[in-house]
Chain A
Amino acid sequence: MFEQGIYELLGEGIVETLYMTIVSTAFAYIFGLPLGVLLCVTDKDGIFPIPIINKVLGFIINLLRSVPFLILLVFILPFTRMIVGTTIGSTATIVPLVVASTPFVARMVESSLKEVDSGVIEAAQSMGSSVFKIIYKVLIPEAKPSLLMGAAIAITTILGYSAMAGFVGGGGLGAIAVNYGYYRYQQDVMTVTVLLLVIVVQIFQEVGTRIARLSDRRAK
């Protein structure tokens, strides 16, 4: 259907998209998970209330989340160059992806942890658990199914963002769609790229949902 080069291009696109998405999600969780825990724990009804930290952190997160991704990407270009030395390509896209999705991940983690039954937390406290032990022995394991569902949503959202970055010099399937579909009017390439994006998102979502369901011991 296409000339030889296109297939290779699409293959590379998929690899680049997966690379951006997975690495960004990993970093988003490295930063976002502790932040989400901090948000949950320091809440006024949390297990270690520190309202000041909670409010300041909440404010910064809301601030970052209110900037649309494409604008954020352009806005932090100097920062991106500082970190990875360039503003073009997949690796460069990872920086804004992480900056944009960390606050989002933090909020998802916070809401998952807040679903944990307060009675169970109280029981853990009554047994003399420290705050730290409640976090890693109660909050996170009890919220695991919800955290995994959240991760599936996060990874698909980040994949969507990564495609957007194609407009401003990012790599992956998004860039192919923009360069061939938008600038060169190659509707067929565009269609295939969109299809590939849909398939990747479906796979991530479905796998995530399944793992989450399998890990849930509540309803049997």
Chain B
Amino acid sequence: MIRLRHLTKTFETSQGNLEVLKGISLDINEGEIFGIIGLSGAGKSTLIRCINFLEKPTDGEIIFDGMNMGDLSRKELLKVRQSMGMIFQSFNLLAQRTALKNILYPLEIANVPKEEAMDRARELLELVGLSDKANAYPSQLSGGQQQRVAIARALATNPKVLLCDEVTSALDPNTTSSILQLLQNINHTFGVTIVMITHEMKVIEQICTQVAVIDGGNIIETGNVKDVFLRPQSEIAKQLILPKGSEIHNMTGKRCLRLIFDGNSAFEPIISNMALECRAVVNILYANTKCIDNKAFGEMLLQLPDDDISIERILAYLDNREIYYKEEELHV
């Protein structure tokens, strides 16, 4: 669907030339949700803008749906862009248009007859679950709702590809999840190929099938998400995927937690789930539990990691599960 070959992009600045992309080659197949992850400044925003030629690459080729983007005339390029939707971190809705009229915009550009455009816009509003907000202006919508309108707008002209530029970075975790869910549904239902750039691991984890790791203007690693996540090869991929220095973890934390199990389900792997969900490692110092009638009774002493944020997450997790605990100081 999208083929990038030796793509380079150099910006001329007052401090000399800045080489942002240094020869990127990628293949994105039809129907994939392709994630491109990198730290800020890695060149991912420039990369995604090169795909629809919002940024003209300095060198290299972009083949979209069999067409070489660089060979298109201006008119042809505008036409091709109608088959590539794009959504943004800051939503970028027209502030003086209602939600419905924002969705009508690309249809006006594509010269779709009014009646037909209206039907299509209403259908899309329904798809993103905002039928009741047709006449609301962007300023009256929450971030998540604005992004939904932006998604509907991007889909209006039935694009083959949806380019997503950090689309969840301005949203809270719950909204992020629901937006990702929506994108996944759209991918499954309409077979739209999605290219997603992000710096957030959880975005890739939640919906992507393929991932490329970008750093310093180069693709460092690419493959399907499972392979790259299980066996990250490069330093940068390890840094992005694994929590800091978790390969060999020397526990230095002084804080301990005594968990009391008084009849929770013995089938729920609480400690493993906690480690996974909180992305924090704990050290089991002592445990004495019994399983009675499929319920767990007893207690467990955990050494906590040496960072307050992880600890907070762990405590929130335990509160959520209604597991009783006491905090203790470690005496070694």
- Determine how close the nearest CB of chain B comes to the CB of A79; give it in whole angstroms: 39
- Determine how close the nearest CB of chain A comes to the CB of B64; give it in whole angstroms: 13
Of A137-145, A159-167, A206-214, the one touching chain B = A137-145
Interface residues on chain A, number (Cβ under 8 Å): 25
- Given A119-B92, A142-B95, check contact A219 B109 (CB 8 Å): no
In B82-108, the 8 Å CB interface with A consists of 82, 84-86, 88, 90, 92-97, 105-106, 108
In contact, A128 and B109 (Cβ under 8 angstroms): yes
Q: Which residues of B contact A141 (CB under 8 A)?
A: 94, 96-97
Report the Cα distance A164→B214, complex, angstroms: 64
In contact, B88 and A122 (Cβ under 8 angstroms): yes
In contact, B109 and A217 (Cβ under 8 angstroms): no
Report the Cα distance A220→B157, complex, angstroms: 31
In contact, A144 and B81 (Cβ under 8 angstroms): no
Q: Does B80 contact A (CB under 8 A)?
A: yes
Q: Does A125 contact B (CB under 8 A)?
A: yes
Contacts A119-B92, A141-B96, A216-B96 known; 16 new A-B pairs at CB < 8 A: A117-B95, A119-B90, A120-B95, A122-B88, A123-B86, A124-B105, A126-B84, A127-B82, A127-B106, A127-B154, A128-B80, A128-B110, A217-B96, A218-B139, A219-B139, A220-B140
Instruction: List the B residue with the shortest CB-CB distance to A141.
Output: B96
In contact, A127 and B109 (Cβ under 8 angstroms): yes
Q: Does A129 contact B (CB under 8 A)?
A: yes
Q: Does A184 contact B (CB under 8 A)?
A: no
Q: Does A55 contact B (CB under 8 A)?
A: no
Q: Does A66 contact B (CB under 8 A)?
A: no
Q: Which residues of B contact A119 (CB under 8 A)?
A: 88, 90, 92
Q: Does A130 contact B (CB under 8 A)?
A: yes
Q: Of A130, A142, A215, A217, which is within 8 A of B78 by CB?
A: A130
- Given A123-B88, A123-B92, check contact A128 B81 (CB 8 Å): yes
Q: Which residues of B contact A81 (CB under 8 A)?
A: none
In contact, B54 and A126 (Cβ under 8 angstroms): yes
In contact, B105 and A127 (Cβ under 8 angstroms): yes
Q: Which residues of A contact B84 (CB under 8 A)?
A: 126
7 of the cross-chain contacts (CB-CB < 8 Å) are: A122-B92, A127-B81, A142-B95, A217-B96, A217-B139, A218-B95, A220-B139
Report the Cα distance A90→B122, complex, angstroms: 54
Report the Cα distance A187→B240, complex, angstroms: 80
- Determine how close the nearest CB of chain B comes to the CB of A113; give it in whole angstroms: 13
